[in-house]
Structure 1
Amino acid sequence: LFRTRNDMYLCHLTAETEKFVQLVFVHQGTEGDVEFTLADESEGTIRILDLLDVLLSEEEKVFVIDELDRCLHPNLVYRFVKLFLRKAGCRSQLICTTHESALLDFDLVRRDEIWFINKNREGNSHLYSMEEYNERFDKVIEKAYREGRYGGVPVFHSVFPFEGEEPG
């Protein structure tokens, strides 16, 4: 596959020829099929296409992805990680940042694979592991995370301080 900013091409190279075929996406509509180019697709669809290489790679690699959940539905993010872990096994590694709390699931990842980042008042970041909390393996941790038990949860007032607003 070869990608430009607005299009995606399938590249077929032989010793004699080079052939590039533009990929189009067919959406079924009430009045028949409609073809979309990459530029016509949503940010979420483009994000999934960007991540396909991670799932299709046969090489042993470390993949680093910033904001894995960007433009994706939480179910897609969860399914992506689940597929990666099943396919990659111990051969490859995925290191990602995310705000998707649904990934805080011991059925998906181990305690030592979950890390949090918390900023202090001066804006300094502190990185720490879920291992520090010694939670049981059967505990549902997403709710506890959202409630602030593990830190790493922004306080709205500190992000958007409005006069007269009470913290919290």
Structure 2
Amino acid sequence: MLIEFRFKNYRSFRDEAVLSMEASGLGMYKNSLIKYNSKTSLLPGVAIYGKNGGGKSNVIRAFWLAVQFIKNAQRTQHADAKIAMNEVKAISMHQGKDQHGNGQLYPLDLSDESDGTRTLMSIAPAIESVLANGGVLLTDEIEKGLHPLLVDYIVAKFQSKETNPKGAQLIFTTHNTELLNMELLRKDQIYFADKNHEDGSSELYSISEFGTRTTENIRKGYLLGKYGAIPDLDIEEVK
């Protein structure tokens, strides 16, 4: 289990960045927490938000670099280390009908599938393995090519004790603001990575630092720039 990760002087991060998996005293979704000891519970996942180029992918890279330097580290898997599609010979079966209107399964090469389907098929083994054995799964832009409901499905797998009995943890970056509706995640599972406009360095911070109210609309606040880590854009008004 991962309790805390610290790093500094790596890529866009100059100062120390801290990502804590220790759960706060929030009352919501307590059943999803991983019991560590009598006083401490851990989060089953963390979502990292941020604008393009803000540094969120560097958090995942820092994790992976640390794993490589630690012998006999906790079982850790990395979604970016998935097998290249040209190295896999696989066939998927699709339901269809023949010329007589009878139901039939038709084969389709993996290379002919959509990008989203190929992404899902490439990370599915890692998801199933870490849920079955425990450990940490790191993935950058989890929603890449995937329908929002599929992302919800994956995240919910880690949030549920029934599908995550070994206490596996998911750490991912995303632009999917639907997860900010707090129907799956707790507030202490939300992090942001943003870049300083003056010196170009990145910082990592939790939404817990803002002292948000229980009834606050997190998604709306994020899109309005309340927590930072969004593109600095002037969107044209549509009349």
Q: TM-score range by the shorter chain?
A: 0.7 to 0.9
Q: 1:140 to 1:72 in 2, by over 3 A?
A: same
SS of 1:88's equivalent in the other structure is coil
Identity of aligned residues (%): 33
Query: Could you tell me how far apart the structure 2 residues matched to 1:126 and 1:6 are?
Result: 36
Q: CA deviation at 1:44?
A: 0.3
Aligned equivalent of 1:130:
207
Tell me the matched-pair count: 144
For 1:76, the aligned partner's letter is L
Aligned equivalent of 1:139:
216
Deviates further, 135-144 or 91-100: 135-144
For 1:96, the aligned partner's letter is F
Aligned equivalent of 1:162:
none
Q: 1:25 aligns with which of 82, 93, 96?
A: 93
Aligned equivalent of 1:106:
182
For 2:120, the aligned partner's letter is I
Alpha carbon RMSD of aligned pairs, Å?
A: 2.5
Query: Could you tell me how far apart the structure 2 residues matched to 1:141 and 1:6 are?
Result: 41
Aligned equivalent of 2:120:
48
Query: Are the counterparts in 2 of residues 7 and 39 from structure 1 also a CA contact under 8 Å?
Result: no
Residues 85-139 of structure 1, C-alpha deviation per residue, up to 9 Å, x if partnerless?
2122561100111111111132311222110011122321111101011223343
Query: Are the counterparts in 1 of residues 127 and 137 from structure 2 also a CA contact under 8 Å?
Result: no
Aligned equivalent of 1:88:
164
Aligned equivalent of 1:66:
140
For 2:93, the aligned partner's letter is F
Gaps of 5+ in 1: 10-21, 158-164
SS of 1:103's equivalent in the other structure is helix
Greater C-alpha radius of gyration: 1
Q: CA deviation at 1:30?
A: 7.8
Gaps of 5+ in 2: 1-82
Query: Could you tell me how far apart the structure 2 residues matched to 1:6 and 1:156 are?
Result: 38
TM-score (norm 2): 0.53
Q: 1:114 to 1:90 in 2, by over 3 A?
A: farther
Query: Are the counterparts in 2 of residues 106 and 138 from structure 1 also a CA contact under 8 Å?
Result: no
Query: Could you tell me how far apart the structure 1 residues matched to 2:233 and 2:184 are?
Result: 29
Query: Could you tell me how far apart the structure 1 residues matched to 2:166 and 2:200 are?
Result: 36
